[in-house]
């Protein structure tokens, strides 16, 4: 059980890091192609999404229901 949670959490952290890595690789070319008026929109959207997700799962959901419902979604 602990090993399974270790790998699931590790993949979650890896996915968060990969999102930012892929964003840094593609943002420059996307800005050149589409020429947006708000050049940092992709960065703001990515960080805002991660902040909202962290607040929901970390502060909003777990203290009220425990960890069981969230981890039940992935089993």
pLDDT by residue, tens only, the chain of 75 residues: 788 888 888 888 898 888 888 888 888 888 889 888 887 888 888 889 888 888 877 776 555 555 566 666 665
The 8-class DSSP code of residue 57 comes to I
Q: What is the DSSP string of 2-20?
A: HHHHHHHHHHHHHHHHHHH
Ranges of each domain in the chain: 2-72
Separation CA 18–CA 5 (nearest Å): 20
Among candidate residues 57, 71, 28, the one with its CA nearest the CA of residue 49: 57
Q: Residue length, the chain?
A: 75
Among candidate residues 19, 71, 22, 27, the one with its CA nearest the CA of residue 50: 19
Q: pTM score, two decimals?
A: 0.58
| Helical (H) or strand (E) element with 40 | none
């Amino acid at each position: 059980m602990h090993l399974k949670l270790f790998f699931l959490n590790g993949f979650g952290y890896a996915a968060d890091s990969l999102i930012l890595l892929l964003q840094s690789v593609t943002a420059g070319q996307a800005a050149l192609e589409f020429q947006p008026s708000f050049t940092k929109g992709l960065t703001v959207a990515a960080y805002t999404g991660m902040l909202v997700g962290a607040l929901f799962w970390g502060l909003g959901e777990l203290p009220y229901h425990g960890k069981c419902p969230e981890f039940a979604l992935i089993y």
